[in-house]
Amino acid sequence: MDIFHPISCPIVLFDRIVQYGLAMHTKDKKLERVLKALGNARRLVIIRFLKNKKRASVGRIAEELNISFKATSKHLALLTSTEILTKEQRRNYMIFELHPEVPEAAVSIIRLL
């Protein structure tokens, strides 16, 4: 197919616009998820705690911050899904720490904590 053919040109242009739109949509969705994750006071406290302590288990984070184990687990799951935190299984414990490649949108906010 010749992309310079008068009939195929609008189709190719439309395909490129759709691909660009989908790429931007995906990028915008990821940014939105990261910002929502950072838009919660308890999650910011968890991030600050891990920034200072480097790594900790769910139980230790819950105990230190006086948050229920269940609520802490939910916050940690969301922070992990947005790649702000990483987790590692150690025996019967799940250990969390800041992700080595935190999303760019989160870097400046984490520096402020």
In the chain, what are the domains? 8-112 (1.10.10.10)
pLDDT at position 49 is 95
Under DSSP, is residue 57 helix (H, G, I), strand (E, B) or coil? strand
Task: Provide the b/e sequence for 64-85 (b: ≥16 CB within 10 Å).
Answer: ebebeeeebbebbebbbebbbb
User: What is the value of pTM for the model shown?
Assistant: 0.73
pLDDT at position 57 is 96
Tell me the pLDDT band of 27, cut-offs 50, 70 and 90: confident
Mean pLDDT of 70-92: 94
DSSP assigned state of 6: T
Tokens linked to 97: 């720490």
